[in-house]
Amino acid sequence: MIELSTNISNYEQLISTDLTAYDAIYLGDVTCPLYPNNFCSDTKDLENAITFLKNLNKKCYLRLYAVPENKDMQWMRKLIQRAIELKVDAFEAHNLGVLLILKEFKNIIPIHFGVFGNIYTIETIKVLQDYGVTRVQPSPELSIEESIFIKDETPISTVFAVHGKIPLVASETCFIMEQNGNDESNCGFACSKDHWLTRQQGEWSMKDTGRMTLSGKDLCMVEHIEELLSKGVKNFYIQSHGESNEFIETTGKIYKDVINKSLNNEKISYETNVETLSSLAHEGLCNGYYFGSTGQQYHGRKLND
Amino acid sequence: MTEILAPAGSLEMAIAALDAGADAVYAGPKGWSRRPMESEVTEEEIEQMILYANKLNKKVKIVVNTYPAPFEMPLFIKKVTKFYEMGASGFIATDVGVVKLLRERFPDTQIHISIGAGVSNALDVKFFENIGADVIVLPFRWNIEEFNEIQKISNITLEAFLYNTIKTGKICPGNCIMSSFFQYRDWFAEEEKTNEHGSANRGSKECYRICQVPWEINNDADKSKSILKQDTNLIQEQLVDFVKCGVKVFKISGRERPIEMICKVIKFYKKVIRELEEGIITSLENYKEELEDLRAQWNNQKHKRVAVLMNKAKSYNKMQKEEVR
């Protein structure tokens, strides 16, 4: 069973986006509990979202805050308790302390360990498995060769990010809020607008969402899906934090189509796909670290042909 | 007994630091710690450090705080076994799997959890204690409130950097791969290690500290140019609380810094911490001027270091483009 997933932060975006292409949705925001109306801060919206997605026959996973401080543990316990009652299909954790909370609740819902979990070694995965982790996302720094090695050697499942901006930093503080001179009591949700950081006459760029900094360029592996499928990859993920409905819909449709055509040995129009994906990328496309080079480079399909 | 843990970016630095009063030094084997190759040391140098430290009844800790590549664990085990058999007192590690592995293989070694592990709450610390850690390096931004929270649920030994607490800017130890997204240089095939990709987190060439140089926000160079992370400073009054609170290891960073500077810092804090512990002083008031002078020297060198790293990043970038052409 192949799964294509993405993430949606809040209810408004969930119901206004065509999610036909996706099999599963990661709900909520991992880097900011305040991020506008995200599912981690409103359990009523979470309940509605779960009902909505179950009706669409899609899996719903709840993303838990990646860098909780001691003061966050109380509200996170309440959120986890409620999510267990609501029977989410999985939790996505990024933090070791949160794994202890899930253990304290005797949780039996599957746990995914996310991008900020620093998954680099099989040995780490074996430890996490003892704490209920059933799926991991290898660190974006790993090459395809290394990620496939993890997939093949690990006793649990792996998910591969194939498109979208690469999360580079999760911070405990909000850069945008500080820039605006606000505090947590009135953050102003300035992160709803795009913030681009540039240097080196624009050659270096990043997108900042306050507590998370992402690559300026969009990771794009559409030309390498066939290869990933041939190596046994089953879970594909499109990172869409801070992106428009159009981005989520279009990228989902393209990747779903490429996955299906690859499985059926049908011809794929890579040029058109790359062109469309490129038009959605503010700063262009890259392959991240998958080919063992620095994150900004883009390698076309010919590299591996 | 409180311990001063000093950097050993070279054999010479290790010997000077131990002579200056450090109770222990930490050294990174080439390719396995988060520092440029120039600040890491060979196996032979580590062996020499251990022999020298043993004569003084002092300790050498081995920094293996990178995230190993998933298929290089056999090499990692070979390396750490060698250091353990040489007589290293402990290891400083980050990766969860590495911590568990070290504990299982060397039940009597001391395991420190590196700042790079990115702990953000007391339960994180408890997790590491559960899998075998002895000492936790406390994040820069933590203060005695956080230390107390740990002590409520854990018996782990507390280790603090000799830096002040600062809670602004991007705070992200263990959760940052910004530098390598733009630039990194592959490690040379050396010390049997050939699997180098990615950031300093993985042992590649170095972190270019791109968070500490100005970035334009929304292409508005005039109005908004900002660094992403604030600089820390050598600790002052907070040291009193840290000693009272039971911090048992004080760490000095700076494997790449001049030896003379490291020795000055060791001597200063060794004296001040001893006087605090013995009740000779209750504040650092009498040392204000001396500390300000030390801070100025420390910060001046830090800024020069950032400039050097950025220049390196630019030159490697240029080299890479020329190679592509």
CB of B98 closer than 8 Å to CB of B112: no
- B312 shares contact with chain A (CB less than 8 Å): no
pTM reported for the whole predicted model? 0.93
* Distance from C-alpha of B101 to C-alpha of B142, rounded to nearest angstrom: 28
C-beta atoms of A146 and B219 within 8 A: no
Site of tokens 């030094």: B25
**CA torsion, ordered A126, A127, A129, A133, to nearest 10 deg:** -120
Residues A154-187 pLDDT 10s: 989 999 999 999 999 998 888 888 877 777 777 7
Residue with the bigger pLDDT between A121 and B229: it is A121
CATH number at residue B33: 3.20.20.70
Concatenated DSSP letters of A244-281: -HHHHHHHHHHHHHHHHHHHTT----HHHHHHHHHHH-
For chain A, the first-to-last Cα distance in angstroms comes to 26
Does pLDDT of B208 surpass 50? yes
The minimal CB distance from B178 to the residues A126, A169, A196 is found for A169
- B103 shares contact with chain A (CB less than 8 Å): no
Q: State residue A28 phi and psi, 5-degree precision.
A: 100, -170
Q: State residue A106 phi and psi, 5-degree precision.
A: 55, 40
**CA torsion, ordered B49, B50, B56, B58, to nearest 10 deg:** 110
Number of independent structural domains in chain B? 1
Interface test with A, best of B124, B178, B181, B213 (most A CBs within 10 A): B181
Residues of B in contact with A198 (CB under 8 A): 215-216, 219
- B147 shares contact with chain A (CB less than 8 Å): no
C-beta atoms of A294 and B120 within 8 A: no
Residues whose CB falls within 8 Å of the CB of residue B283, separated by 6 or more in sequence, listed in order: B237, B240
Whole-complex ipTM: 0.95
Residues whose CB falls within 8 Å of the CB of residue B180, separated by 6 or more in sequence, listed in order: A141, A289, A294, A295, B198, B199, B200, B201, B204, B207
Q: Which two three-digit tokens encode residue B217?
A: 């926000």
Q: State residue B82 phi and psi, 5-degree precision.
A: -60, -45
Chain A: nearest CA to B202, how far in angstroms?
9
- pLDDT for the residue numbered B100: 98
The minimal CB distance from B146 to the residues A70, A150, A198 is found for A70
Chain A: nearest CA to B46, how far in angstroms?
26
Residues of B in contact with A95 (CB under 8 A): 120-121, 124
| Stretch among A21-25, A216-220, B131-135, B257-261 having the lowest mean pLDDT | B257-261
* Distance from C-alpha of A239 to C-alpha of A8, rounded to nearest angstrom: 9
Residues of A in contact with B126 (CB under 8 A): 97, 100
Q: What percent of chain A has pLDDT over 70?
A: 98
CATH architecture of A3-304: Alpha-Beta Barrel (3.20)
* Distance from C-alpha of B289 to C-alpha of B283, rounded to nearest angstrom: 13
C-beta atoms of B73 and A121 within 8 A: yes
* Distance from C-alpha of A24 to C-alpha of A2, rounded to nearest angstrom: 11
List A197's β-bridge partners, or say none: A206, B217
- B210 shares contact with chain A (CB less than 8 Å): yes
The DSSP output letter for A79 is H
C-beta atoms of B176 and A215 within 8 A: no
Confidence of residue A299 (pLDDT cuts 50, 70, 90): confident
* Distance from C-alpha of A279 to C-alpha of A257, rounded to nearest angstrom: 18
The minimal CB distance from B70 to the residues A73, A97, A122 is found for A122
C-beta atoms of A120 and B228 within 8 A: no
B150 burial class (0-12, 13-18, 19+ CB within 10 angstroms)?
buried
Range of the domain at B29: 3-324
The DSSP H or E segment spanning A151 is helix A144-153
Residues B90-108 pLDDT 10s: 999 999 999 999 999 999 9
Which residue on chain A is closest to B94 by alpha carbon?
Answer: A118
Q: State residue A110 phi and psi, 5-degree precision.
A: -55, 150
